[in-house]
A and B are shown apart, each in its own frame.
Chain A
Amino acid sequence: MELFLSQILNGLAIGQVYALIALGFSLVFGVANIINFAQGALFMLGAFIAYSAIAWFELPLVAAAAVSVVIVAILGLLLERIALRPLIGAPYIAPFLSTLAISTIIDQSAEIIWSPESQPFPAALSNTTFFIGNAYITLTDLVIFAFGAAATVALTLFISFTWTGRALRATAQDSAAAAQLGIRTEAMRQIAFGLAGALGALSGILVALYFQSVFPQMGIPFGLKGFAAALLGGLASIPGAVVGGLLLGIGETLASAYVGDSYRDAIAFTLLLLMLLVKPNGLLGSKRLDALGGAGAAAGAMPTTSLLASSSSQQTAIRAVYLPAWGFLVVGIAFATVPLVLTSTYVLQALIYGFIFALLAVSTSLVSGSVGILSIGHAAFFGVGAYAVGILARPYGLSADATLLVAIALTALVAVVAAIPLLRLTGHTAALGTLAIGQIGFLVFLNWVSVTRGPMGILNIPHPVLEILGGARFATTAQKYWLVLGFVVIGLVIAERYVSSPIGRVWRAIREDRLAAQASGLPVKRYILLAFAISGALAGLAGGLFAYVQQVVSPESFTVETSILVLTMAVLGGLGNFTGAAVSGFALAILPEFLRGFAEWRMIIYGLLLLAALRVRPQGLLGAR
């Protein structure tokens, strides 16, 4: 019982932090109708800037916190100015992807500046513990709770009683009408982003105090949990964000106490998914969510749920350029001759990764582009396939036919199950659901040690043997090159056949207008699940091949970075355009091989590419289909 009470108190403290992050999401969403994916990055920067002010300039904690809050607030303003304002009138998905790109750039820059390792955050407060009855609470918890609560109250007062607060609320209600009344809505957007930055920084510092460490990868999990909290509360409501944050904090603290600390995050993300499943509009309910992303255009002059539609209802019509299914076969045959001419293991190896990522990018493009459920979690499916091969190949001595078949079938199954909570979602919320799926996948790979061997990974995966080819063994790089190329071409041909068939037409119809598709008599859910099954099968095949090529499977191959990378490939190629996805997947995967020495700049380059593409050609290089 004491433990239980202590956990509740502890949960209230961390929950207050989630509430602050959630408030950052809610403010920006309320005023600008954007889910700011970079909120987590601002949060991380807040923690690191305070850390540097203390560790490098020896400022006292309060001064360091103040400096950090000011700097991050300014960065929040810049974020709006650089990444979002130019995209007004762009496709609905563009601002979301833009903040995703910014977040990638900030996270990677932090790894370069502060190293990827976690740094100890100085414990500024004594380890005093207070007892309430038999339950205990530390001074740090109390301070965190007090600061968080004070910030929440201050924000509420500001929003409720000041002129600026009223103008913010007016802009949130109806930006066009507010502008008509003389409110400078652009300035309001800026204020919202500035405040979100300040809240992000403050929550980052509080988390640093709570865990007494800072690490560059902290942005995404905490950002996602803050979003989960905001969603719990209905996303556009301040009391909702606070209630959501506290509930999430308590839930996850209890879970980590009674189930195990390594499941803390997995449980938080599972909660998020469950929430999306049962009450996608949040506990306090907000119809505003319906207006998000795709569905935003559903009320317009030309109703659509497409992510590529924009508020002007006009999609820039770029004629998509793509190969027919047999075209992939021809290109594949051409590539098959390469090892006859080139013997460099290094080049062949790079090309192999190019093929695998071409397939993975097509798999992502299928759900993100054809069906319109943006996937930021494909690394999880990729990982399931890889682990299936890794686990089965040596101990069970299975041939590659068998292991790959299991990888394909298992991943398809996992993808279908993962898609169930996403069925009712469109636009940004669906994207965040896939992000949660990706995170859960990674955490399972990392923590289910008895099966995946955890951070160690699975080593010494044997060379593939194909029974179907009379037990042929693929041991040399050239042999593996042909094996991978063969399977990838088969996968691409099947994918292209699908998307060019009536089934692909139905997928696009669902993307364009889910309601109309269903009212036309189409079993929409069934087609979405079919898309996830096919996409999962392709990702599983890519993962299985990856395992055979690497001969090692470990969790760090399947992080959210990988998911963002393959999504970037799919967007750059033109969403739903498999030729585009394959080309950009291939190109972006072999690019770093020629940029050796710049390895740590890789994600920054991808982020910049994505930003540039959104500005210049949101339909992708070869045109969305």
Chain B
Amino acid sequence: MAVQGIVVENVSRVFGGLKAVDGVSLTLARGETVAIVGPNGAGKSTLVQLISGVDRADSGSIHVDGVRTDRLSSDRIARLGVGRSFQTSRVFPALTVWDSVLVGVQPGLIERPSGRLIDPVTESLGALLGLGFWRRRVKAQEAAAEAALKLFGDRLWPRRDQPALSLSYANRRRLEIARLLAAEPRYLLLDEPSAGMNPTETEELTHLILDLRRTHPQTGILVIEHKLSMVRRIADRVVVLNQGRVLIEDKPDHALDHPEVVEAYLGKPRTGASFQDAHHG
């Protein structure tokens, strides 16, 4: 029986002389929410790049549900059920909101249950001739896309025929997350989902993640986040990174109030009060 979850073991990534990620190990089980925090340059985003296959680790190993993924391409990893968002939302600007979400479900359309892809000829015939079996697949995927958009209430669904570039900053973030959710991933990697959001929008996002945890109890969520008040509310565990290394891994309140963590963020320990949002994005 293969080990479930995302297992990162002793992973390093060097850029020139800089060890961006230096021997990091961590796990993400299905159903749990883990937050990665740390000062700028701690290697948080690089770690997400490595897990999602957008960048390659120099050493160490990464497994997703028992499948070794550190040498796989990012599309293969995504099809294993790992969805990721980007620090700056990437939403296919000229595509409509609706098309943008449908891109998210496309891999499910061309993937057989075995995990192999349908060959391009069959795909072409299905798409061109609108054959029955193909149309049923498309319908199912469209239903998933519609449900994902409607998760955001009237933020996205009424705007589905507008190009993504016309959306507000916060709505682009929502669209990106909707695209991920439409694919029904087993793991979600969110790279600073609240960056650029005002307090109200951050609150809304916090509720969305809490709702997700309730509606998708089997989804593992890894979230990079600077807004520690949000981290305290959503995360089961916190991993603090500093200079590419895991500084501490613990429950949110323990981890975030740990003197070494405070020092890593602020440079010197503060007595008494725990600190709140280190970074307002």
Contacts and interface: CB of A to CB of B under 8 A. Distances in A.
Interface of A: 301-304, 306, 308-309, 313-315, 317, 494, 497-498, 501-503, 505-506, 508-509, 511-513, 515-524, 526, 530, 533, 624
B179 A306 contact: no
B102 to A, nearest CB: 6
A314 B163 CA distance: 11
Interface in B40-86: 52-54, 73-75, 78-79, 83-84, 86
B106 interface: yes
B103 interface: yes
Contacts of A517: 92, 103
Contacts of B75: 518-524
Q: Which are the 5 A-B pairs with shortest beta-carbon distances?
A: A521-B78, A521-B107, A516-B90, A501-B127, A512-B92
Contact of A513 (B83, B90, B128, B166): B90
A530 B120 contact: yes
Among A306, A505, A521, A624, the one with the most B-chain Cβ atoms within 10 Å of its Cβ is: A521
A516 B86 contact: yes
A503 B123 contact: yes
B4 interface: no
B93 A309 contact: yes
B94 A497 contact: no
Given A502-B138, A523-B75, 9 more contacts: A302-B93, A304-B90, A497-B127, A501-B128, A506-B106, A517-B103, A520-B83, A520-B103, A522-B106
A519 B86 CA distance: 10
B229 interface: no
A309 B93 CA distance: 9
A530 B73 CA distance: 19
Contacts of B230: none
Given A505-B103, A520-B104, A497 B128 contact: yes
B107 A522 contact: yes
9 contacts: A306-B94, A503-B127, A512-B95, A517-B92, A518-B54, A518-B78, A520-B104, A520-B179, A521-B78
A306 B127 contact: no
A533 B120 CA distance: 11
A304 to B, nearest CB: 5
Contacts of B90: 303-304, 513, 515-516, 519
A518 B83 CA distance: 11
Interface in B209-228: none
A624 B100 CA distance: 17
B48 to A, nearest CB: 10
Nearest to B98: A505
Contacts of B117: 523, 526
A303 B86 contact: yes
Given A302-B165, A519-B84, A523-B75, A498 B127 contact: yes
A366 to B, nearest CB: 13
B99 interface: yes
Contacts of B274: none
Contacts of A518: 54, 73-75, 78
A520 B78 contact: yes
Given A315-B165, A498-B128, A519 B99 contact: no
A148 B104 CA distance: 54
A513 B78 contact: no
Contacts of B124: 498, 503, 530
B94 A315 contact: yes
Contacts of B120: 526, 530, 533
B93 A512 contact: yes
Interface string B115-145: 0010010011001100000000010000000
B276 interface: no
B4 to A, nearest CB: 20
B109 interface: yes
A502 to B, nearest CB: 6
Given A301-B88, A518-B74, A520-B78, A508 B107 contact: no
A520 B104 CA distance: 6
Contacts of A497: 127-128
A502 B179 CA distance: 15
Contacts of A522: 75, 103, 106-107
A306 B93 contact: yes
Contact of B106 (A502, A512, A530): A502
A304 B99 contact: no
A519 B52 contact: yes
B183 interface: yes
B50 to A, nearest CB: 13
Contacts of B74: 518-519
Nearest to B121: A530
A446 to B, nearest CB: 34
Contacts of A304: 90, 92-94
A503 B92 CA distance: 15
A530 B121 CA distance: 9
Nearest to B103: A509
A309 B172 CA distance: 17
Given A302-B165, A505-B99, A523-B117, A494 B128 contact: yes
A218 to B, nearest CB: 39
Contacts of B106: 502, 505-506, 520-522
Contacts of B52: 519
A509 B138 contact: no
Contacts of B78: 518-521
A512 B89 CA distance: 13
Contacts of A523: 75, 117
A512 B94 contact: yes
Contacts of A512: 92-95
A260 to B, nearest CB: 38
A494 to B, nearest CB: 7
A304 B138 CA distance: 26
A267 to B, nearest CB: 33
A533 B84 CA distance: 31
Contacts of B109: 502
B79 A515 contact: no
B263 to A, nearest CB: 32
B171 to A, nearest CB: 12
A1 to B, nearest CB: 43
A533 B121 CA distance: 11
Nearest to B172: A302
A315 B172 CA distance: 16
The residue among B90, B107, B117 with the most chain A CB atoms within 10 A of its own CB is B90
Contacts of A521: 75, 78-79, 106-107, 183
A314 B165 contact: yes
Contacts of B99: 505, 508-509
Nearest to A524: B75
A524 B76 CA distance: 11
B201 to A, nearest CB: 17
Task: Kindly name the residue among A302, A306, A308, A624 whose own CB sees the greatest number of chain B CB atoms within 10 A.
Answer: A302
Contacts of A516: 86, 90-92
A509 B92 contact: yes
Contacts of B54: 515, 518-519
A494 B125 CA distance: 11
Interface in B223-273: none
Nearest to B138: A502
Of residues B92, B120, B123, which shows the largest number of chain A Cβ atoms within 10 Å of its Cβ?
B92
A303 B91 CA distance: 8
A317 B166 CA distance: 9
Counting chain B CB atoms within 10 Å of each CB, the highest count among A498, A520, A530 belongs to A520
A303 B88 contact: yes
Contacts of A302: 88-89, 91, 93, 165, 172
A506 B127 contact: no
A319 to B, nearest CB: 10
B134 to A, nearest CB: 9
A315 B93 contact: yes
A304 B53 CA distance: 19
